[in-house]
Amino acid sequence: MKGRAGRRRGAPDTKGEILAAARTVFGERGYDGATMRAIAAAASVDPALVHHYFGTKEKLFLAAMEIPFDPAVIADSIASSAAGAGIGERAIRTFLGVWGDPAGRAPMLALLRSAMQHETAARLLRQFVSRAILGRVLVGFEGVPNGVLRAEAMASHLIGLAIIRYVVKLEPIASVSEDELIELVAPVLQQYYDGAFE
């Protein structure tokens, strides 16, 4: 009698094996090139089982890379508001909310450090940020001249801040309060949205 499709006897950690396969496939093919079918094949399971456990490629990527936030929630919290009012403050508050949790920060730091040292990791992070985060944030930049460039400038500012505050730990940025950072950085981020573009 045949077993149920996609499930293997004697393999209690099938979910773990899928995650391990996903890390390998994402690493080899990048975010764009990886498919649920390829990950299922690498884990020797039916693709339906991968969908059962993780739902979408994005959710599988988040689980495999141990990224502790949902890009849709982050992007929606940044992009929501008419005409981009307050987008700078929302962006820095959301960013600090994600990075402020030490437990959640560790996997993001690992991915960021890896991206700074290895082109494969950089490509993976670039594709994921472009599709899962910037792709959604751009909704808030609709109708803004050079909206893609402005959104990427905002993202680059925040990533640079993460490197200085959490990786390099340059003082006083590393220890200044979140409220002080918000007061300092929010107007600059807002300028990326509002400012004239020559």
What would the CATH number be for the domain defined by 71-194?
1.10.357.10
Spatial CA neighbour of 103 closest among 69, 74, 78: 69
Sorted by where each begins, the domain ranges of the chain are: 14-64, 71-194
Rounded to the nearest integer, the mean pLDDT of the chain is: 82
Phi-psi region of 177 (alpha: psi -120 to 50; beta: other; left: phi over 0): beta
Query: Residue 185's pLDDT is what?
Result: 95
Report pLDDT digits (tens) over 124-171: 788 888 877 787 778 777 788 888 898 889 888 988 998 899 888 999
Say whether domain 14-64 belongs to CATH 1.10.10.60. yes
Helix axes 102-117 and 147-162, enclosed angle (nearest 10): 110
**Equal CATH topology for 14-64 and 71-194:** no
**84 has pLDDT over 90:** no
Tens of pLDDT, residue by residue over 167-185, are 889 999 999 999 999 999 9
Whether the Cβ atoms of residue 151 and residue 137 lie closer than 8 Å to each other = yes
Q: What is the pLDDT of residue 147?
A: 85
Alpha-carbon Rg for the chain, nearest whole angstrom, is: 19
